[in-house]
Amino acid sequence: MRRILAIAALVAGTAVSGPVGALQSTLLPQSFDTPVFLTAPAGDARLFVVEKAGRIQLIDNGVVSTYLDLSGQVNSAGERGLLGLAFDPDFGNNHRFYVNYIDTSFNTVVSAFTAPSAGAASVDIATGQTVLSIAQPAGRDNHKAGWIGFRPTDPGRLYVATGDGGGGDDPDNLAQDLNSNLGKILRVTPSAGGGYSVPQDNPFVGVAGNDEIWAYGLRNPYRNSFDRLSGDFWIADVGQNAREEVNLELNGAAGGANYGWRAREGSVDNPAVPDASPAGALDPFFEYAHGTFGQSVIGGYVYRGSAEPGLDGNYFFGDFVSGRIFTLRADAGGVIDVTERTAELGTPFGAFELSSFGEDGLGNLYAMGVNGQVVLIAAAVPEPSTWAMLLAGTVLLGTLAARRGRWRM
């Protein structure tokens, strides 16, 4: 993969160029308890909001209700919690969806649940089936990643992001250990009755290490996404003391990429460890130094709507520590254009508040914060009835228990 690096972003501020924005954030009237993700099945006009403490909240025609409550089996201390949600590409027929959380025994658990119908308002917790479980290092409550998703060009394969398990500088070097599923992107085929099989075209099948591994050398790939048009894979890996990085795996790649952690942080050597840079380790597609955009990247989505002229193909991302939001665009020649969108959006989040981005079933983009707020930041189609209905709602949920500085990545 080619190395594309925005030098200006490493040494100065944002390059003010590229698409002329007319973005306006629209605050949803509903409020949540530490929302960390939002999604929906393709074509579904509802929203499914993931709360860190263990609940999935459903917004349907402005009304909020609990879709699934896992709070009794989720440990949400620190960076733990209910962290990921993905609907099966065939959800309309099989009604299955998947969650990623840290359980009360401190394990990462990916489970499948089955709704009674595609349009059901709630799901019985008893339908849960464990797909996979990964033991986490004892006593470390950070670097759990937690994102899961299905690639639109790779039907039936579930991708799972895992952090290095926590602790400074990956003390057990798990991200480089091919016999550990931590610090990785995994790729599995969930089985109908629970468990999974390994796709035989995974890069390490019959070669070395764990067959589930698709990519490795990651610190905390907390928020990632697939481009719904191209299938390209955007991996935002939270850095430690120096760099925040966004990696890009082009659709059709064979897997097996090593992104370099812990020996490297972004494109530079990590001076805190003696490890040599791994042979063949990939530089980030984009990175920024601490003190420029912030110091804890929050990955987002490539916009593929038609309501915002000039934004098609732009990748939205932000930073937890600064609360700032940006778009990134690269042309065929490798030139990166980064535009700050914070002022355009009305500065929806302050420092230590932006927790995630989300994309609904119609392609609308949202941002959310640990302050409980969810905002529409880019509509998919002109006059979208989906979010117009959401704005008509008046139900307020939960308490804003998460305040500034409660957790970071």
* 3-state secondary structure string across 35-62: EEEEECCCCCCCEEEEECCCEEEEEECC
Locate 240 and state its tokens: 């430690």
Looking at the DSSP bridge assignments, the partners of residue 340 are 326
In the DSSP assignment, the letter for residue 12 is: S
pLDDT at position 398 is 30
Locate 280 and state its tokens: 């063949």
Within a 10 A sphere around the Cβ of 268, how many other Cβ atoms? 15
In the DSSP assignment, the letter for residue 103 is: B
For residue 12, pLDDT beyond 60: no
For residue 403, pLDDT beyond 80: no
In the DSSP assignment, the letter for residue 176 is: G
Given a contact cutoff of 8 angstroms between Cβ atoms, the answer to whether 322 and 291 are in contact is: no
Give the CA diameter of the chain: 57
- The residue behind tokens 């490795």 is 216
pLDDT tens digits for range 245-299:
999 999 999 999 999 999 999 999 999 999 999 999 999 999 999 999 999 999 9
SS3 category, 213: strand
Rg of the Cα trace of the chain?
A: 20
pLDDT tens digits for range 198-207:
999 999 999 9
Separation CA 3–CA 207 (nearest Å): 27
pLDDT at position 259 is 98
Q: In which element (H, E) is residue 386 found?
A: helix 385-391
Locate 6 and state its tokens: 């925005």
Separation CA 59–CA 46 (nearest Å): 6
Looking at the DSSP bridge assignments, the partners of residue 100 are 84, 110
pLDDT band at 232 (very low <50, low <70, confident <90, very high): very high
For CA atoms 133, 135, 141, 146, the dihedral sign is negative
122 vs 404, more confident: 122
Given a contact cutoff of 8 angstroms between Cβ atoms, the answer to whether 324 and 41 are in contact is: no
- Helices (H), ranges, 81-223: 91-94
For residue 392, pLDDT beyond 90: no
Given a contact cutoff of 8 angstroms between Cβ atoms, the answer to whether 260 and 219 are in contact is: no
Within a 10 A sphere around the Cβ of 400, how many other Cβ atoms? 14
Separation CA 357–CA 369 (nearest Å): 9
Given a contact cutoff of 8 angstroms between Cβ atoms, the answer to whether 103 and 80 are in contact is: no
Mean pLDDT of the chain: 89
pLDDT at position 6 is 38
SS3 category, 187: strand
Separation CA 409–CA 83 (nearest Å): 13
For residue 310, pLDDT beyond 90: no
Q: Which of 380, 273, 358 is nearest to 48 (CA)?
A: 358
For residue 384, pLDDT beyond 80: no
Given a contact cutoff of 8 angstroms between Cβ atoms, the answer to whether 26 and 44 are in contact is: no
For residue 17, pLDDT beyond 60: no
Helix and strand totals (H; E) in the chain = 3, 27
pLDDT at position 407 is 52
pLDDT tens digits for range 149-199:
999 999 999 999 999 999 999 999 999 999 999 999 999 999 999 999 999
pLDDT at position 391 is 45
For residue 20, pLDDT beyond 50: no
pLDDT tens digits for range 90-115:
999 999 999 999 999 999 999 999 99
pLDDT at position 45 is 96
* Domains of the chain, first to last: 7-391 (2.120.10.30)
For residue 73, pLDDT beyond 50: yes
Give the start-end residues of each E strand in 88-183.
96-102, 107-114, 129-135, 148-150, 158-161
Q: What is the DSSP string of 60-100?
A: ETTEEEEEEE-GGGB--STT-SEEEEEE-TTHHHH-EEEEE
Given a contact cutoff of 8 angstroms between Cβ atoms, the answer to whether 361 and 14 are in contact is: no
Separation CA 267–CA 248 (nearest Å): 14
